[in-house]
A and B are shown apart, each in its own frame.
Chain A
Amino acid sequence: MDKETLNTPNINAVKTIEDNSEQNINGKKPQKSKSPFQLALRRFLKNKLAVIGVFTLIVIIAGSLSAPLLTDHSPTKSNLLMVEHPPSDEHLLGTDQSGRDNWSRLLYGSRISLIVGFSAMFFTLIIGIILGSISGYYGGKIDNIIMRFTDLILALPFLVLALTIMAIVDDISVSLFVTIIALVSWPNLTRIIRGSFLSLREQEFVLGAKAIGASDMRIIFRHMIPNIMGLIVVNATLMVAVMIIVESGLSFIGMGIPQPQPTWGNMLTEALSVRILTQHWYAWIPPGLCILITVLAINFIGDGLRDAFDPKSNQR
């Protein structure tokens, strides 16, 4: 070959040094490689608050799943002879204004709160991922249409909209409730996903995937979404907390899941009366505490996930 040699130090020498060092590493024991996901998991498990959050959430979920084992009372059956009884052996947290067992309502109520929180998050996530990735990946006209639509939804005052819909529909089921809050909460996530897609789209590994002939679907699902998985997981987790708060808030003012179905939110409704607020702590403190603890736990998990997926944000 008549290739000119570069002005470099002895190439062969460098090669042998590198080979040696590789053999040394290999000579011991080949370390098992960790995928980026495994690395994130390890960082997550090192975060004490987040792990406490996970345990708390597990306890709450376990309690709600095993509600029938923890109480014999029906959460919906009222007993007008047993109205507003204080805590006793029979009724651990007393009874409410209609004589329903508070402990039982607290346990069964957690089901509704958690179902609403998680499924609303799930729907929002699906809408957000689909619209956000289409918008960010294709850009141009489609992007413009989707973004103007999200602007429109964002401009609607959430509470007023929710109240209006709840007022029109008289019998609100859990699924309808979830649908309504998902339909008004997707724009934020959509924007976040679109934004990261816009910046990912220009990255060389995405161009590289295009160069090997990967389809749009493959590029979106195999290359782009895994790279914003951290972002999605963090936002989804924090969203569960928001959804639980929204459910409680709406139920509290009587615009959420209607009685007699128990939720933490509508259990709090009793505290609207000053008499109960001041004298019957057992009627409203437990559901209030439950909401607080659940939301805190989820937020800790969310923060832990954020630090785990993006170690840079944790360098204080």
Chain B
Amino acid sequence: MATVEEKDLIQTEQQTLVRVENLKKYFPIKGGVLKRTIGHVKAVDGVTFDIKQGETLGIVGESGSGKSTLGRAILRLLEPTDGKILFNDQDITHLRNKKLRPIRRDMQIVFQDPFASLNTKMSVEQLIEEPLIIQTDMNKKERKELVNTLLEKVGLRASDRMKYPHEFSGGQRQRISIARALAINPKFVIADEAVSALDVSIQAQVLNLMDDLQDEFGLTYLFISHDLSVVKHVSDRVGVMYLGRLVEVAPKKPIYENPLHPYTQALLSAIPDTNVDVEREKIKLEGDLPSPSNPPSGCAFRTRCPMAHERCAEVRPELQHKGDGHYVACHLYDEE
């Protein structure tokens, strides 16, 4: 396998598959007798990044940081409030449903809850076959054959075809979701907390499966999770989200070994360690995530940041390049 430097080099030559520019998703808060909009929950508040062909971008953040909203907005399952989504250099931000359909063929999503993400009234065969019916003109026989191959590929038996979701365990259901997502041979798959609801041992199985499938089909992943070790396991690059904003993006190694943003440092210091002999310095964050309907001025993290200074309250820090693809949004690294 290539070393990190080589890998970075390859990546710069690779084509950008997905580009997100200043993406915003605000949910209106309705109030009063007339149900007027009295404010907004800024779930995703100006996020910019790109994903290269064949890589895995991990997005981490605590609950409520807007990770899932980001994923859903990229797939246009939620209408973005502002910003731009480019898929294969095509602007899909405002495409109508009809024009979006052929593009949906290339981007799929695997959801968090394996018990809610499959229609329980459909058999496995119907579930996996559905994207084929919508997106291709395969005949019944071809579809059946493909369903069988897909089932075997994700580690289920072809004889499971006629079963219903309630007959499977969480991990098996997640495999069905993956088979369904892969049926139409997408280029880009968003895994929205895809393994968070599973036992650790099953998590590893599903992660390894996703990894194998990536090699086999050249998939590009956006891997959303709150679990830092899972993200470390699967990602090539990692983005850290806080209150709807991306605070740091970098290749995996630098971000885990040399995190720049105080929030990333705090997150990483909170990973439990099996080695008890080494004393590690833990950074404890005070307080809760501020309300996304009324985020702090300037840097959203300043209320909990141990290193906050005056400028943090005044100016919102933008992502700045610190070399080797390491981006950070923090005033500590401003160059005066």
Q: Which residue numbers of A lie inside 8 Å of B, CB to CB?
A: 1-9, 11, 14-15, 22, 26, 30, 33-37, 203-205, 207-216, 218, 222-223, 226-227, 229
Given contacts A30-B159, A212-B134, 12 further A-B contacts (CB under 8 A): A6-B207, A7-B229, A7-B274, A8-B200, A8-B204, A11-B208, A26-B159, A36-B120, A37-B121, A205-B117, A207-B111, A211-B77
Per-position 1/0 for B91-114, Cβ under 8 A of A? 000000100111011011101110
B203 close to chain A: CB less than 8 A? yes
The interface residues of chain A lying within 8 Å CB-to-CB of B59 are none
Residues A11 and B205 in contact in the complex (CB < 8 Å), given A35-B164, A207-B77, A212-B130 = yes
Nearest CB on A from B229, distance (A): 6
Question: 27 pairs across A/B with beta carbons < 8 Å?
Answer: A4-B229, A7-B200, A8-B201, A9-B200, A26-B157, A26-B159, A33-B123, A33-B163, A35-B123, A35-B164, A36-B121, A37-B121, A208-B117, A211-B109, A212-B104, A212-B108, A212-B130, A212-B131, A212-B180, A213-B101, A213-B134, A218-B134, A226-B121, A226-B122, A227-B119, A227-B120, A227-B121
Nearest CB on A from B124, distance (A): 9
Q: Which residue numbers of B lie inside 8 Å of A, CB to CB?
A: 1, 72, 75, 77, 97, 100-102, 104-105, 107-109, 111-113, 116-123, 130-131, 134-135, 157, 159, 162-164, 166-167, 177, 180, 184, 200-201, 203-205, 207-208, 211, 229-230, 232-234, 274
Q: Complex Cα distance A211/B113, Å?
A: 16
Closest residue of chain B to A33 (Cβ to Cβ) is B163
Closest residue of chain A to B118 (Cβ to Cβ) is A205
Q: Are B167 and A6 in contact (CB under 8 A)?
A: no
Q: Are B201 and A4 in contact (CB under 8 A)?
A: no
Q: Complex Cα distance A9/B200, Å?
A: 9
* Interface residues of B, dominant DSSP: helix
The one of B105, B111, B162, B233 that contacts A6, using a Cβ cutoff of 8 Å: B233
Q: Complex Cα distance A229/B45, Å?
A: 40
Candidate in B75, B102, B122 with the most chain A CB atoms within 10 angstroms: B122
Closest residue of chain B to A224 (Cβ to Cβ) is B119
Q: Are B233 and A33 in contact (CB under 8 A)?
A: no
Q: Are A1 and B117 in contact (CB under 8 A)?
A: no
The interface residues of chain B lying within 8 Å CB-to-CB of A3 are 211, 233-234
Nearest CB on B from A201, distance (A): 11
Q: Are A204 and B121 in contact (CB under 8 A)?
A: no
Q: Are B104 and A211 in contact (CB under 8 A)?
A: yes
Q: Are B200 and A213 in contact (CB under 8 A)?
A: no
Nearest CB on A from B309, distance (A): 35
Candidate in A6, A36, A208 with the most chain B CB atoms within 10 angstroms: A208
Q: Are B75 and A211 in contact (CB under 8 A)?
A: yes
The interface residues of chain A lying within 8 Å CB-to-CB of B1 are 1-2
Q: Complex Cα distance A37/B120, Å?
A: 10
Nearest CB on B from A138, distance (A): 13
Q: Are A205 and B119 in contact (CB under 8 A)?
A: yes
Residues A212 and B135 in contact in the complex (CB < 8 Å), given A9-B201, A36-B121 = yes
Closest residue of chain A to B107 (Cβ to Cβ) is A211
Closest residue of chain A to B35 (Cβ to Cβ) is A144
Q: Are A6 and B230 in contact (CB under 8 A)?
A: yes
The interface residues of chain B lying within 8 Å CB-to-CB of A218 are 134
Q: Complex Cα distance A1/B163, Å?
A: 35
Q: Complex Cα distance A207/B164, Å?
A: 19
Q: Complex Cα distance A286/B288, Å?
A: 71
Q: Complex Cα distance A166/B109, Å?
A: 56
Nearest CB on B from A77, distance (A): 52
The interface residues of chain B lying within 8 Å CB-to-CB of A5 are 233
Closest residue of chain B to A218 (Cβ to Cβ) is B134
Q: Complex Cα distance A5/B205, Å?
A: 12
Nearest CB on B from A225, distance (A): 9
